[in-house]
Amino acid sequence: MDPNLVGVWQYQKDAKESWTVRADGTLRWFYQGAPAIGISDSIVEYTYRADITKSPAHLDLIHQGVMGTSYFIYEVTGDELRIGMAADGSAASNRAKAFGPNDRYYKRVQAEPGK
């Protein structure tokens, strides 16, 4: 586990998405829906593995249902989290080898949305 990863992270491009990464190895993904068009809030619970011995560090999100496991690379710099996505945008079958144009950027926030 990476203690720098623990916290609440909000997607920088769209404040509707956040990740709550807990020290107990669980992660809560929250997306605030668009009530005007009938999309309700989404909450998905995962367990995760973070391997800081890899370069770049690896992050696996494990869903017990049909979603399976998603594979990412990541780096935490202060209050910023960068998630590296595979070039084809698929995290379910392969992991990015390096950071690139499909990366997602998050900022650390104090409050967990949707609570």
- Give the span between the Cα atoms of 31 and 17, in whole angstroms: 4
pLDDT at 21: 97
What pLDDT, on the 0 to 100 scale, is given for residue 55?
A: 95
Residue 104's pLDDT is 94
Q: Count CA atoms closer than 13 A to 75's CA, side-chain side.
A: 9
Dump pLDDT digits (tens) for 42-99: 888 999 999 999 999 999 999 887 778 899 999 999 999 999 988 776 666 789 999 9
